[in-house]
Amino acid sequence: MQSLLAELRAAVIDPDAGPVRRRQAARQLARLADAGVPGADPADWWGLTAPSTDEPVETTPVRVNPSKVNRVRECALRALLERTAPSSAMAMGSAFHRITEILGDVDIEDAEQALRDAIPELTDEPAWRLAPLIEEWARALHAWRSWEGTQNVVGMEVDVRVPLGDDIVLTGRIDRLAGHPRDPSKLTIVDIKTGKAVSKDDAEADAQLATYQLALALGRLIDGPDGPVIGPDPTRGSEGGNGGGDGGDGGGGNGAHAPDASILGGATLVYPRDPLSGGDPKTRLQAARTGEQLEEWADVVTGVAAALRGPGAIATPGKHCEFCTVRLACPAKEGAR
Ligand code: SF4
């Protein structure tokens, strides 16, 4: 019955369907509604009912975490409704991140042992899978340490809290900030990934990295109680922007959107569990954004903040619907609910 209702409803609102077909579909729906079939009466159609509230979902300033930007751009409704259930893969990734943080304080052997001890607690893999899994993660830890040793790390787990205009705050945490190898005035953003490497094109377009580049260019590296953090830059308040710093890198800006591209050394994704043949982690780079690109991205992030603020949230169907856990409640997926 649900699929029949969905087909009739789709026909009624299909502008490409002829008037005869639309009238017939409407007539059948009316008959089903008279018979009391749930979902046949347009009063039950979620897409046609009035919003239950016009209150914003998020209060101002809206906090935008760079890790959410891509999901909101794909589908605002899913980003608003979906809650990610904890998984053993997420727990393993978190444990790996924590253990990389202590590498500077303990021997690699002790860090590796901590990782080996943690894995059986975090995964429900069968025993025959556990031993190779532990070896794989141990190799990843060594690969990461070896790669990190080539970097001039200036900050670890760097908190980010930077305003974008008056109504938005970019908040998150950068795994590592490193000095640029050829230009000491620039900083590179490093993100540890515990999955398989994405394509070079996907890394270049990565929304999370691009948003962290924007935050770094809008803010300032300052000393926090637990190390460096990226906070507001008082010289780039809502009235005082300098339009892209001394680098002349475009992006005249309007004060609130006046990122300074001159500090950016780009960003790197590091994949310790996806090594090259020699054992080093694969890496993927995102080029340093120019002032003009930052201005454009600030507009994208402003749109994301508006979507998060609500109260409306647009359902945007696409390939991502395949993995959407709220599709049963989605007005864009006929017959799904
Ligand atoms: S099913 Fe698709 S369109 Fe609907 S909420 Fe999920 S991702 Fe968005």
Identify whether 266 is part of a domain: yes
pTM for this model (two decimals): 0.80
With a 6 A CB cut-off, is 315 part of the ligand 1 pocket?
A: yes
With a 6 A CB cut-off, is 305 part of the ligand 1 pocket?
A: no
- What local confidence, expressed as pLDDT, does residue 12 receive? 86
pLDDT score of 238 more than 60: no
Segment 110-127, tens digit of pLDDT: 999 999 999 999 988 888
Do 122 and 204 lie in one domain? The reply is no
pLDDT level of residue 46 (50, 70, 90 thresholds): low
The atom of ligand 1 lying closest to the CA of 81 is 5
**What average pLDDT does this structure show over 136-162?**
96
Do 167 and 271 lie in one domain? The reply is yes
pLDDT level of residue 241 (50, 70, 90 thresholds): very low
The atom of ligand 1 lying closest to the CA of 324 is 6
Identify whether 288 is part of a domain: yes
Do 242 and 299 lie in one domain? The reply is yes
Identify whether 326 is part of a domain: no
Would you list the DSSP string of 195-257? SPPPPHHHHHT-HHHHHHHHHHHHEEEEEETTEEEEEE-GGGSTT---SSGGGT-S----STT
Q: Chain-wide mean pLDDT for the chain?
A: 87
With a 6 A CB cut-off, is 324 part of the ligand 1 pocket?
A: yes
> How far is ligand 1, taken at its centre, from the CA of residue 26, in Å?
26
pLDDT level of residue 43 (50, 70, 90 thresholds): confident
DSSP assigned state of 59 = P
Which of 105, 124, 148 is where one domain is finished? 148
> How far is ligand 1, taken at its centre, from the CA of residue 333, in Å?
7
Identify whether 261 is part of a domain: yes
Do 178 and 285 lie in one domain? The reply is yes
Q: Which protein residue's CA is at the shortest distance from atom 2 of ligand 1?
A: 321
Do 175 and 303 lie in one domain? The reply is yes
Do 225 and 78 lie in one domain? The reply is yes
Identify whether 55 is part of a domain: no
Segment 242-261, tens digit of pLDDT: 333 333 333 334 445 589 99
pLDDT score of 336 more than 70: no
Q: Half-sphere exposure (CA, 13 Å, Cβ side) for 178?
A: 22
Do 212 and 304 lie in one domain? The reply is yes
Do 161 and 247 lie in one domain? The reply is yes
- Helix H segments across the chain? 2-13, 19-34, 69-74, 76-81, 88-101, 108-122, 127-148, 200-204, 207-218, 291-309
Identify whether 56 is part of a domain: no
pLDDT score of 37 more than 90: no
Range of the domain at 5: 1-49
Do 108 and 162 lie in one domain? The reply is no
pLDDT level of residue 313 (50, 70, 90 thresholds): confident
CA distance linking residue 211 with residue 198, whole number of Å: 18
Do 19 and 133 lie in one domain? The reply is no
Do 169 and 289 lie in one domain? The reply is yes
Identify whether 321 is part of a domain: no
> How far is ligand 1, taken at its centre, from the CA of residue 79, in Å?
9
Q: Provide the domain count of the chain.
A: 3
Identify whether 11 is part of a domain: yes
Tell me which of 74, 323, 327, 337 to substitute to probe ligand 1's pocket, judged by most ligand atoms within 8 Å of the beta carbon.
327
Do 33 and 168 lie in one domain? The reply is no
